[in-house]
Amino acid sequence: MGVKCGACFRGCVLEEGRLGFCRARRNVGGTIVCDNYGEVTALALDPIEKKPLMRFMPGTKILSTGSYGCNLACMFCQNYGISATTKEENMLTEISPAEMVAKAISLKEQNNIGIAYTYNEPLIGYEYVRDTAKIARAEGLKNVLVTNGCFTEKTFNEVIGFVDAMNIDLKGFTKEYYEKLGGDLETVKAFIKMAHKSGCHIELTTLLVPGYNDTDSEIEAMAAWIAGIDVEIAYHISRFFGRWKMASASPTKVSSVLNAVEIAKRHLKYVYAGNI
């Protein structure tokens, strides 16, 4: 008999030993476990602005870490080499929560403020985020989450008490576009509202993909919806470059990004152009 995974909106029902869509959660003995716990594919000290976070401790750096797997299937994924792969396809380094925190502490003199969980989708392995963030918080470090937001309230509640800031993707504003990406718009909207209500610092990002989510009306709708939550939420509109299954696609015109920024500024106080 299969067991349902409750981590994200998909609710995968997994038979014994089988992985979920994300490639990182598995049924082991009737319990869904985090199969990528402590399995690190990427580790770097980044400027906080690269997350991107423009209004959370600007000018500092943060130790950024990622594993493998994702619960979406964006055809233009920038990190598909880790997000769309399995454990066996990656070169992995095992780093325990305590070891990760020790690395972060050792980088304090390089202006490191904490740990960012990023690169792949970190919440498919929320247990590792939770356990690491808890130790980091006790050591006075900050925790930053970079997520697609397609997760349940249960998963949100597992980590929110230890997360200081989030950048959440708002990939578009139609059900149809989210379905193309293998996601769910209403789940993301609910996640954003929960994150804001919690008091966690949040910033949002939209990758502007020509012909998919770049109409003036859609930008206007997204910005107005965000403003309905809080006009001071920072909103990043980023330029698309072709990757993975859309490698041959043309980049977004810089003028299109700047136009979208001006539209969003009608509603929001802080809007930033990215990748230009």
Radius of gyration of the chain from its Cα atoms, rounded to whole angstroms? 18
Dump pLDDT digits (tens) for 144-160.
Answer: 999 999 999 999 999 99
Sequence ranges of the domains in the chain? 36-274
Closest of 3, 89, 87 to residue 38, by C-alpha: 87
Cα–Cα distances in angstroms (integers) from residue 95 to residues 104, 118, 125, 132, in the given order: 12, 15, 14, 10
- pLDDT given for residue 166 in this prediction: 98
Write down the mean pLDDT value for the chain: 98
Q: Is 102 helix (H, G, I), strand (E, B) or coil?
A: helix
- pLDDT given for residue 69 in this prediction: 98
> What DSSP line would sit under 222-269, residue for residue?
HHHHHHHH-TTSEEEEEE----GGGTTSPPPPHHHHHHHHHHHTTT-S
Sign of CA dihedral 116, 120, 121, 126: negative
Kindly tell me if the per-residue pLDDT of 77 is higher than 80.
Answer: yes
Kindly tell me if the per-residue pLDDT of 35 is higher than 80.
Answer: yes
Kindly tell me if the per-residue pLDDT of 1 is higher than 90.
Answer: no
Query: What contacts 274, CB < 8 A, 6 or more positions away?
Result: 52, 205, 236, 237, 238, 239, 257
Are 94 and 146 in contact by the 8 Å Cβ rule? The answer is no
**CA–CA distance, 17 with 1 (Å, rounded to integer):** 12
Q: Is 63 helix (H, G, I), strand (E, B) or coil?
A: strand
Please confirm whether the linkage preceding 122 is cis (ω < 30° from 0). Answer: no
Dump pLDDT digits (tens) for 210-246.
Answer: 999 999 999 999 999 999 999 999 999 999 999 999 9
Cα–Cα distances in angstroms (integers) from residue 44 to residues 17, 55, 131, 171, 176, in the given order: 32, 21, 20, 25, 35
Supply the pTM of this predicted model: 0.98
The domain 36-274 having CATH identifier 3.20.20.70: the answer here is: yes
What is the CA 87 to chain-centroid distance, rounded? Answer: 20
Are 66 and 91 in contact by the 8 Å Cβ rule? The answer is no
